[in-house]
Amino acid sequence: MSTKNEPMNTAPIQQYLQQVKAADASQQKDIRLDIQSAKRLAFTLGEVMARLNGDLEKLLISQSSGANETIEVRLDGGGNWK
């Protein structure tokens, strides 16, 4: 898997959500997935979770590296409003 933020194919997730929505609207008691659809859904969910985990790691690293960063705020009392 690439570490770049390339677009992901989330079509299997969208198809599954549509299938659940349609089943709910027609008050079906269950839904079925053929093995190919189930495999595509599992693979896509794995990709999404891996991307989210990588993004979280990058965020945590960037936050910890900026821990010693100084932020300066100046307040002028708002006297220069026009």
What is the rounded distance in angstroms from the CA atom of residue 21 to the CA atom of residue 27?
10
Residues 21 and 5: their CA atoms lie apart, in Å, by 29
pLDDT at 43: 97
* Alpha-carbon span 9 to 78, nearest angstrom: 50
For the stretch 33-78, pLDDT in tens is: 999 999 999 999 999 999 999 999 988 888 777 666 677 887 777 7
The confidence score (pLDDT) of residue 71 equals 77
Whole-prediction pTM: 0.67
pLDDT at 1: 47
Q: Which residue, 59, 66, 58, 60, is CA-closest to 3?
A: 58
**Residue pair 41/13 in contact by the 8 Å Cβ criterion:** yes
